[in-house]
Amino acid sequence: MTRKLAAGNWKMNGTRAALDDLNAIVSAHGDPGVDILICPPATLLTQAAALTSGKPLDIGAQDCHSYPSGAHTGDISAPMVADAGGRAVIVGHSERRENHNENNDLVRAKAQAANDAGLIAVICIGETLDERENGQTLDIIAEQLKVSTPDTATADNTVIAYEPVWAIGSGKVPSLDQIREVHDFIRKLLIDRFGNSAQGIRILYGGSVKPGNAAEIFAVSNVDGALVGGASLKESDFSPIINALEATA
């Protein structure tokens, strides 16, 4: 069975001082029963990867360009992430979709670029509040999943993160039934497309996961871990979430 995954997305937070929290997370989880991934800002990738080298915690990036190199000022490519010691890259986060007009086709190209560089693509999908209130959630999820996921996706190179846009950073969390409905739906779509091996593709829930709600979310079927923003910045918040996931593994 694939191991569960506790992933942290530091977003545009953290200078070198934040590496103390990374150290603390590493120290607190010497032999974790789940996979742990931290995605710091690009400026910290190399140092974070060096600091965690040989430890049971992987480092990832928050985005990559779809091309391996070229005239793209300000961007970083998937081979650069791999060269820095990264093992994964988040693609299609709703903040990228919103702030940088990223669409499903571009997200798929980035996921493909990540896989081509030997990285795991953490592909984010999720509906807005308007879409949920209009009853469009499953249609939106189906379309995002279909177009954003490369045909070559496997359990080894792909993680799906279901992140309702309205739950990110808001303190609002869907009901457990709402989470179950979407996660079961994603699993079915993955199996329809990729066959039974898609049972192993991890489906993370993301959006206001905290120490206080992690255990109940992790008990939901087809929730294989979490993508955590705010609560991944401090060891004291992230450790209890890792522990709650371990308790279900």
**Burial (0-12, 13-18, 19+ Cβ within 10 Å), 181:** middle
Which of 54-76 are b and which e, b meaning 16 or more Cβ less than 10 Å from the residue's Cβ?
A: ebebbbbbbbbbbeeeeeeeeeb
Give CA–CA dist 233/25, Å, rounded: 10
Binding residues among 120-179 for ligand PGA as defined by CB under 6 A = 163, 168-169
92 binds ligand PGA (CB under 6 A): no
To the query of whether residue 216 is one of the catalytic residues in this protein, the response is: no
Number of residues that bind ligand PGA (CB under 6 A): 13
- Per the annotation, the verdict on 183 as an active-site residue is no
Which range binds ligand PGA by CB under 6 A, 26-34, 62-70, 215-223, 228-236? 228-236
Contact criterion met (CB below 8 Å) for 214 and 193: no
Interacting residue with ligand PGA among 78, 228, 244, 245 (CB under 6 A): 228
Q: Does 229 bind ligand PGA (CB under 6 A)?
A: yes
Exposure string for 134-144, b = 16+ CB within 10 A, e = fewer: eeebeebbeeb
| Residue placing its CB nearer to ligand PGA in the complex, 86 or 207 | 207
Q: Which is nearer to ligand PGA, 160 or 168 (CB)?
A: 168
CB of 154 to ligand PGA, least distance (A): 23
Of the residues 29, 65, 93, 183, which is catalytic?
93
Spatial contact of 40 and 20, defined as CB atoms under 8 Å apart = no
DSSP 8-state secondary structure symbol assigned to residue 27: H
SS3 of residue 160 by DSSP: strand
Q: Which is nearer to ligand PGA, 86 or 229 (CB)?
A: 229
Query: Which residues, numbered 4-43, are part of the site for ligand PGA (CB under 6 A)?
Result: 9
Partners of 158 in beta bridges = 121
Does position 212 interact with ligand PGA (CB under 6 A)? The reply is: no
CA atoms within 13 A of residue 29's CA, in its CB half-sphere: 29
Residue nearest to ligand PGA (CB): 229
Q: Of the listed pieces 141-149, 215-223, 226-234, 240-248, which binds ligand PGA according to CB under 6 A?
A: 226-234
Please state, in angstroms and rounded to a whole number, the distance separating the CA atoms of residues 78 and 118: 9
Residues designated as active site: 93, 163
Applying CB under 6 A, the residues found at the interface with ligand PGA are: 9, 163, 168-169, 206-209, 227-231
